[in-house]
């Protein structure tokens, strides 16, 4: 059973398009995250949701909009894609009853914008 | 703000060699410290952690000790295997955020 899953695994699209990445966790966690990993492997948090509420919103262009329909899902919608959005996007989750820092990561979605 | 600095890679070793990957941090207060590992094509996995000064985290033969006086959390393993080839990330948790270093790629050859 996959603990944190993401779809799609690969996404190739053209500049200007709108795309979504989906994330689901079956760990019963109450906090979910989106991270962006650039071509140099640098990993940076973008958003964090706790019980469907946004709690961390780093300096991310407003073309990126996270949505959490329930505690087990956190989707990322990106409007008007740009070349610089090409990266690997990781979803993660953690539990307040466990440790916020013990985050479980999904396998990543490699987004390529051409 | 808080930050983590790791040695640049790649680190290239022969099997059974000793591994050290340096990590230092800057943080206010008392952060928790971690090493995460990313195998090719996969997401990050927590390797080990230490939540207070002088704690030693260990897992799968890897160790790291939380040194407050030198603000360091260096990763060590006595005898690496080819299967340890991966990217290793040092991280700290403080003020509700995990902050990662830039990662160090380890390549182990038979």
How confident is the model at residue A39, as a pLDDT? 85
Q: Could you check whether the bond before residue A8 is cis, i.e. omega within 30 degrees of 0? A: yes
Q: What is the Cβ-side half-sphere exposure of residue B60, based on CA atoms within 13 angstroms?
A: 13
Can you name the residues that pair with A93 across neighbouring β-strands?
A32, A104
CB contact under 8 A, B100 and A43: yes
Displacement of CA B8 from its chain's centroid (Å): 12
The continuous run of DSSP H or E covering A65 comes out as strand A64-70
Whole-number Å distance between alpha carbons of A90 and B64: 25
CB < 8 Å to A45, chain B: 97-99
| A76-A109-B73 Cα angle (round to 5) | 100
Mutate: best of A101, A102, A105, A109, partner B, most B CBs <10 A:
A101
Nearest to A73 by CA among A22, A1, A111: A22
User: Token pair for residue B64?
Assistant: 């790291």
Of A41, A48, A107, the CB nearest to B43: A107
Tokens 């919103």 -> residue:
A57
Taking CA–CA distances from A108, the nearest residue in chain B reads: B43
The continuous run of DSSP H or E covering A106 comes out as none
| Residue B105 touches partner A, C-beta closer than 8 Å | yes
User: Token pair for residue B31?
Assistant: 């952060």
Nearest to B65 by CA among B92, B93, B57: B57
Got the DSSP string for B72-95?
A: B--EEESS--GGG-EEEEEEEEET
Residues B21-66 pLDDT 10s? 999 999 988 899 999 999 988 888 999 999 999 999 999 999 999 9
| Residue B32 touches partner A, C-beta closer than 8 Å | yes
Taking CA–CA distances from B96, the nearest residue in chain A reads: A100
| B32-B33-B34 Cα angle (round to 5) | 130
Q: What is the pLDDT along chain A (114 residues), one digit of tens a residue?
A: 668 999 999 999 999 999 999 999 999 988 899 999 988 888 889 998 888 888 888 878 999 999 999 989 999 999 999 999 999 999 999 886 555 567 889 999 999 999
How confident is the model at residue A59, as a pLDDT? 78
Q: How far is A16 from chain B (nearest CA, A)?
A: 27
8 A C-beta contact, residue B65 and residue B9? no
8 A C-beta contact, residue B74 and residue B23? yes
How confident is the model at residue B96, as a pLDDT? 76
8 A C-beta contact, residue B2 and residue B95? yes
8 A C-beta contact, residue A107 and residue B42? yes
How confident is the model at residue B66, as a pLDDT? 97
How confident is the model at residue A46, as a pLDDT? 93
């Amino acid at each position: 059973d996959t603990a944190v899953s993401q779809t799609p695994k690969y996404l190739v699209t053209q500049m200007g398009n709108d795309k979504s990445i989906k994330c689901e966790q079956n760990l019963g966690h109450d906090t979910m995250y989106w991270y962006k990993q650039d071509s140099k492997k640098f990993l940076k948090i973008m958003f964090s949701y706790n019980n469907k509420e946004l709690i961390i919103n780093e300096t991310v262009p407003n073309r990126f909009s996270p949505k959490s329909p329930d505690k087990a899902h956190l989707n990322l919608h990106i409007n008007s894609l740009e070349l610089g959005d090409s990266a690997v996007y990781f979803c993660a989750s953690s539990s307040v009853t466990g440790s916020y820092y013990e985050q479980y990561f999904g396998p990543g979605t490699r987004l390529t914008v051409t | 703000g808080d930050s983590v600095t790791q040695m640049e890679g790649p680190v290239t070793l022969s099997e059974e060699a000793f591994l050290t990957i340096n990590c230092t941090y800057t943080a206010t207060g008392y952060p928790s410290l971690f090493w995460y590992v990313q195998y090719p094509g996969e997401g990050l996995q927590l390797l080990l952690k230490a939540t207070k000064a002088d704690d030693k985290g260990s897992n799968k033969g890897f160790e790291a000790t939380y040194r407050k006086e030198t603000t360091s959390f260096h990763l060590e393993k006595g005898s690496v295997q080819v299967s340890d080839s991966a990217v290793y990330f040092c991280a700290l948790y403080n003020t509700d955020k995990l902050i990662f270093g830039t990662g160090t790629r380890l390549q182990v050859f038979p």
